[in-house]
Amino acid sequence: MANKSKPKPRKLSVYLYIPNIVGYIRVLLNCIGFALCFSNKRLFSLLYLLSFVCDAVDGWCARKFNQVSTFGAVLDMVTDRISTACLLVILSQVYWPSLVFLSLLALDIASHWLQMYSTFLAGKASHKDVKDSSNWLFKAYYGNRMFMAYCCVACEVLYIILFLIAENQTEDLIDVLTISMKAGSPVSFLLAVSLFGWAIKQTVNVIQMKTAADVCVLYDIEKKQKP
């Protein structure tokens, strides 16, 4: 009796996976939001945060409907990085010194790109697989979904709050933070909570960049040692 092989999914079917469709919606929400960011701050913030919520939805859909795909993972990460990058560019135009936000943008892209590349070199299935890392914070970040979610949400919320409370396009970052923190309002509390999570995420980004760079260097050394 001939073996009936399981039919392979067509290329179009992968593009139309439910989590990938959610990813396309995220892109659309961000495009509309950034087009309106200076004319309607509140609508932009709502669309941006809705896109961020969809980031969790697409992961849930991928697991629920067994539609995990490499394309979906790449789409998810690229959308995350571009969304954050665009928001940081906008903040660099609103606050002084702008180099603060441009440096954060560079760190975010560099650390995640190196992490993805080192993941492929190491033959791992996911960039979140850091069980072999010796750094406790790095392992805690990727090993605890709730902890990672808090840091990511805190980072994005901080950037959105900074954008909303800016009254013009020549704000001094330190002055705005100082005044807002001393106000004793719910915004002050939210800023404090967000700043803590933001600080952890930036620390993890630095650790991630160094760890991923080490993997690339070790790969080069092992390749040269082979006869």
Task: Tell me the average pLDDT of the chain.
Answer: 92
The residue extents of the domains of the chain are 12-225
**Dist CA 44 CA 40 (whole Å):** 6
Q: Which residues are identified as catalytic?
A: 80
- Residues present in the chain in total: 227
pLDDT at 1: 46
Instruction: Write down the H helix ranges in the chain.
Output: 11-15, 18-35, 41-64, 70-94, 99-121, 136-143, 145-165, 173-182, 186-225
pLDDT at 6: 59
Chain centroid to CA 213: how far?
A: 19
Q: Which residue has the higher pLDDT, 129 or 6?
A: 129
pLDDT in tens, 76-135: 989 999 999 999 999 999 999 999 999 999 999 999 999 989 998 988 878 888 988 989
**Dist CA 211 CA 119 (whole Å):** 11
pLDDT at 3: 52
Topology (CATH level 3) of domain 12-225:
Four Helix Bundle (Hemerythrin (Met), subunit A) (1.20.120)
pLDDT at 169: 77
Asked if residues 26 and 32 have their Cβ atoms less than 8 Å apart, the reply is: no
Does 54 score more than 80 pLDDT? Answer: yes
171 in helix, strand or coil? strand
pLDDT at 89: 97
172 in helix, strand or coil? strand
Does 9 score more than 70 pLDDT? Answer: no
Look up the pTM and report it.
0.89
Asked if residues 86 and 163 have their Cβ atoms less than 8 Å apart, the reply is: no
Asked if residues 13 and 71 have their Cβ atoms less than 8 Å apart, the reply is: no
